[in-house]
Every structure is written in structure tokens, then in C-alpha cells.
Chains A and B, each alone.
Chain A
Amino acid sequence: MAGVHFEHVTKRFGDFTALKEFDLEIHDREFLVLVGPSGCGKSTALRMLAGLEDITEGSIYIGDRRVNGIPAKDRDIAMVFQSYALYPHMTVFDNIAFGLRLRKTPKDELTTKVKEAATTLGVDTLLDRKPGQLSGGQRQRVAVARAIVREPQVFLLDEPLSNLDAKLRVHTRAEISKLHQRLGTTFVYVTHDQTEAMTMADRIAVMNEGIIQQVGSPQELYDEPVNVFVAGFIGSPSMNFFSAKTVENGEGVRLEGDGFAVDVPQDRAEEMRAFLDREMIFGVRPENIHDKHFVPSGITAAPTTVTVDVTEPMGNEVFLHLLAGKTMLLARVDPRTTVSADEEVEVVIDMERMHVFDPESREAVRTA
């Protein structure tokens, strides 16, 4: 077991900087997910930790050991690749046993360990098969078995679910979480899928363009995103953003957007006055826009009038695509709603849950 520490790590490929001043402390036994859009540097970070890429600047530590320049084979890590990367000429048994054989593990111990790992992953009946005879899901399990059998200090997973079909992905997600609990090893998991990150991680590091945007627990990132990027990336469907100016309106204040307005009640008005007469970016999640007939109690309701563009009944909820002036908003409302397309309706925004971002820096200035 060991933690991992990235210290001012920079990676350049020629003129392209893939990773900039990357600082990250991954605790021992933690399940940390690196998430971001493709090309954000998350895989590069993982591959540097694995020893598959050189470190241009900075240091990486596994436990107390600085691993710069230490080859992959001596880092005591294991990795699951996106393509699984099984050895096609070997049986499942030999695939799992490969690393142990290289370490000259005694034969009895080797057999026991391989069988144990295979049983854990439910591939113990496939030991004599070659990878070519397995389904995608089975291959993925063998790849995980091959990684856990060596009992590494750190376990690296690079988009291990992206080649599975949707149903199997959900199932395997839960299995990997269980595996993490059982093994009690540090997991570093790379994905572009924020749902995977949210469901499995102890902590998530959101990355964009080679820079860490925010590190925190899934709930922290969801509730208190530090900038527009994190706010838009975490959560599905993603947060609605609109530009609006705060103006005085009698007792309270009013947010004036492009062709629509939101009246902020008096008890929230004071905070909004901080940005008086300035154009700010406001963010509100779909579930914080309500049909005015089904408003939960205890929220600070700010009403606004919008036009319904499309309704999408999902059974347990209804997605409303709304047009607020020229701004598109997505709302996730109570299924009992009776609104229909092209109708002009009044919806209510939960001001308690309103995020405000500076339009210049795009960083959060107030989060609910």
C-alpha cells in the first residue's frame, strides 16, 4: 500500500505541453479518479505514474520513493489498459501468471494466487482459453485479474470500461468499487465519463487542457464547482448557464438576461447586490428549476416566465427544454407536470442553488 504524490509535474511532447505544473496528492488506499475531456492530459498523467512516459519536469513519488527514471517494471504498480492488452498467444492462466513468473514465484504459490485472482473476477472456469475465445467483458475481467494477482502498491486503470456495452459498464462499475473495498489498495482511475467518476471515486480530480481544475469528493464538485468548466463537466444533464445583469427591483433584485428576467426574492437579494449592474455568468442545475405547481418546500424561489420548447417524459421525471428569451434552459421537473410544448409557463429557480461565475476569469464567485 502506498500513496502517490505528483509534484509540479510537467510533460511536454515537442512544443505541446500535455501536463502543466501538475500537483496532486493521492492518499494511501484512496480511489482517485482523473476525469476530463479527451486530450486533457489525464492518460498522460497515469502513464507517467506507470513509467510508460518520461517526466519532463517535476517529481512523482510512490510512497516515499521518487520514481522518476525508475522503469515501469520496478515501480510495483499494475495497470489495466483500455484495450485490455492481453497476451493473445497465452492462455488466461498464463496471462494472469505472467508477472508472477517473471518474479520467479514458486510454482505452488503461483497456481494458488492465479486461481484466487481468477475466482475473485469470476474467470476461474476460463483458465485454459486464449483471449481470442473470450467476450469483451471476460477479457476485461482477465485484465483486472492479471493486475490484482501481483498485489501491487498502486493499481492504475485507464478507461477500463469504455469498450463494454452500457449495461455491462454499469455492472462492472459496481464490481470495481467492491474490488477496491476488498483489496484496500490505492486506485488511480482515468475516465472521460463523469458518471463513472461520480459513482466510484473517493475523490475526483477534474482536468482540462493539462491543468487540474478542482480536486474534491464527488459531492463537493457537484455542489461547489470552482469554475465554469467543472460546473459544466460534472453532473448529467449538465448545468445551465446564462449571462445576466443584476438590477434593483423594488424590495428585491432582478436578474436581467437576454430576453428574460428572474426576480430574486428579498431574502437572497442582499448577496446578489454584490454584483449589482454587472454582467455575470449564472449557473443552475436542471433539477433546480421547478414547475411552479410542484415546488418543493424550503427553497428560495425565484420565478421567471419561459416558453416550453420540447418536453421529454422519462417516467420518473420530465425534461423540459425551455426558451428563456434567447437562452436555452433544461429543467428536470416533477412528472406530474402538465405543461406542453409551445406553452408559456412560469417556472421557479431555486436561488439557494444558484452558482455565479465571473465572466472574465470564469471562476466561481459565489456557490450555493
Chain B
Amino acid sequence: MRPRLATIAWLWVLPAFVLLGVFLVYPVVNTIYLSFFSGRGASVFVGLDNYRYLFTHPETLVVFRNNLLWLVLFTGASVGLGLILAVLSNQVRYEAVAKAIIFVPMAVSFTAAAVIWRFMYIYRPGQFEQTGVLNAAMVALGFDPVPWITNTAVNNYALIAAGIWMWTGFALVVISAGLKGIPAEVLEAARVDGANEVQIFWRVILPMLRSVMLVVAVTLTINSLKVFDLVYVMTFGNYQTDVLANRMFKEMFTFGNFGRASAVAVVLLLAIIPLMALNIRRFRREQ
């Protein structure tokens, strides 16, 4: 007897299903399951306690605030700078060199970048000579040195600046490619139609870059939610600079509280889902 077509079809997709099941579905389901249990020692069902803790404890609320800062500032500044630099570099002859220099941080490992920026931000109290580049510059210009890493008024921005330094090159390269894709004749048509360069930028170039910028923004937003390495190396989340991913790591490996770690993971997953949905929808539309 010949097997039915449907049976054969199921056989073909079975390996994919098994792999996805073992490595994707099971961990997600198990993580959600674990997030309802107390982590340490004998696990006890605690219902939504882990979530309650996350959303009410002052220490974890700071984590959410920080991620929000990352999301807005890191994404906004990287996309904005990427756009400005793409447009500017498009006008100059040494474009390739300029773009390469801005792109280089992308090639540096996150850990190395974090170490570099920690050196940049070194602060020495009192009468000691400042060895951090930034503080040396501050002193040279007649300002007081700033403890960039420990001062809670500035340290989050200092970390985000390092992130922007790393990712602006990515935004620049992608947006620049989009910019090159705009036909010269369209811009000439706008010129003949009576538009000046500023009007051409706002009314023609920017709308035509919309979809490219959306891709970049979504990618960077996801990155901002997942940010880990820079924070882990530079502050380990101390001095009120903690973020979700680092918190998850801490709960898991420092405190051994896998219930809370799982809850953080679930929150991160939920935060990223809408962005993924946006990306998938766009991808489908383009097909």
C-alpha cells in the first residue's frame, strides 16, 4: 500500500519540527513554566510573584527605566546620526574612507569596545592626574573631571554613548546604500519642479528612505532591548545602570534565582515580539 501524500509531507517536515521543538519551543515553554516558580533550592510554585517583584521592586524598576533610555536614545541617536552621516558622506570625495572609519567599531568585539570605553571614562578623585581621555580633556579645558561610570546622573548616557559609537556605522552603511538607490533623475525632477536642497531632503529623499530607516530602527530597537555586553563589562549593572539582559544574567548566575531570571527572559521576549511581527509583516509585503 502506498503511503498517503500527507504522510510523506509530514515526514519531510519532521526533522525541522524536531529541531525547532527541541531548541526553540521547549526552551521557551520551559522558561515560561519556570518563571512561575521560586528559583532557589526546592522550587515552589509562586504564581505571578516573580513578575510582581519585577514590576514593583525599585531596583528592577530602574532596570526598566534604563532599557527605555537605551531604546529611545540609542536607537534614535544611531539612526539619526547614521542618516546625517550618510547624507553628508554622499557629498564628499573621500566618502569611502569616512564611512570605513565610522564603520570600524562594528568590527570590534563588544567586550573590547566596553574595555576601550572604560579607559576613556576613567576618573581619579582629588589631586591625581586624570588618565581617562575624556576627563583629561575636561581638565585641559578647565572643567572639573566627572566620574562618568559611577555618577548616576550621567553613567547611563555614558554607556549609551558607547553603544551609539558601536552601532552608528551599521545605520550609516545601510542608510547610505538606500540613499544610493534613489535615482538621480528623481532628484533632478524635484529640482526642476522648483524644490531647493532642503525641500528635496525632507519631501523626496527622506520619504524614499523610509523603509530602509524602518529596518535599521527595528534592528537597533531589538538591540537596545537585548543590550548586555557593554553593561556587563563596564558596570556589571551597578550604579543604577542595570538592564534587562544583565539582570537576567545576574539573577541566574550570581543569585542562582532561575525563577526570576526566567521571568525577565519572558518579559524581554514579550517586548521583542511586536517588533519581530513588524519585521515579518514588512518582509512579507516586500515579497
Q: Which residues of A contact B (CB under 8 A)?
A: 50-52, 71-75, 77-79, 81-83, 85-90, 98-99, 102-103, 146, 150
Contacts and interface: CB of A to CB of B under 8 A. Distances in A.
Task: Please provide the 7 A-B residue pairs with the shortest distance between their CB atoms, ordered closest to farther.
Answer: A85-B185, A99-B193, A85-B189, A89-B207, A73-B194, A102-B194, A72-B191
A79 B192 contact: yes
B193 A102 contact: yes
B196 interface: yes
Interface string B190-224: 11111110010001100110100000000000000
20 contacts: A50-B192, A51-B192, A52-B192, A71-B191, A72-B192, A73-B193, A73-B194, A74-B194, A79-B192, A81-B185, A83-B183, A83-B185, A85-B185, A98-B190, A98-B193, A99-B193, A99-B194, A102-B193, A146-B189, A150-B193
Contacts of B203: 98
* Interface majority SS (helix, strand, loop, mixed), chain B: helix
Given A83-B183, A88-B208, A146 B193 contact: yes
Contacts of B192: 50-52, 72-73, 75, 77-79
Contacts of B185: 81-83, 85
A78 B183 CA distance: 18
* Interface range, B side: 10 to 19
Given A81-B188, A98-B190, A103-B194, 15 more contacts: A50-B192, A71-B196, A72-B192, A75-B192, A78-B192, A82-B185, A83-B185, A85-B185, A87-B186, A89-B208, A102-B193, A102-B194, A102-B195, A102-B199, A146-B193
A73 B208 contact: no
B188 to A, nearest CB: 5
B188 A52 contact: yes
A81 B189 contact: yes
A280 B186 CA distance: 50
Q: Most A CB atoms within 10 A — which of B189, B191, B204?
A: B189
Nearest to A152: B192
Given A73-B194, A102-B194, A79 B189 contact: yes
Contacts of B194: 73-74, 99, 102-103, 150
Nearest to B204: A87
Interface of B: 183, 185-186, 188-196, 199, 203-204, 207-208, 210
A73 B186 contact: no
B199 A52 contact: no
A51 B194 CA distance: 11
Contacts of A98: 190, 193, 195, 203
Contacts of A73: 191-196
Contacts of B190: 87, 98
Contacts of B207: 87, 89-90
B212 to A, nearest CB: 12
Contacts of A71: 191, 196
Contacts of A79: 188-189, 192
B113 to A, nearest CB: 37
A77 to B, nearest CB: 7
A52 B193 CA distance: 12
B215 to A, nearest CB: 16
B31 to A, nearest CB: 42
B205 to A, nearest CB: 10
Contacts of A82: 185
Contacts of B188: 50, 52, 72, 79, 81, 85
A83 B195 CA distance: 19
B194 to A, nearest CB: 4
A82 B203 CA distance: 22
Contacts of A81: 185, 188-189
Contacts of A51: 191-192
Nearest to B191: A72
Nearest to B182: A88
Nearest to B189: A85
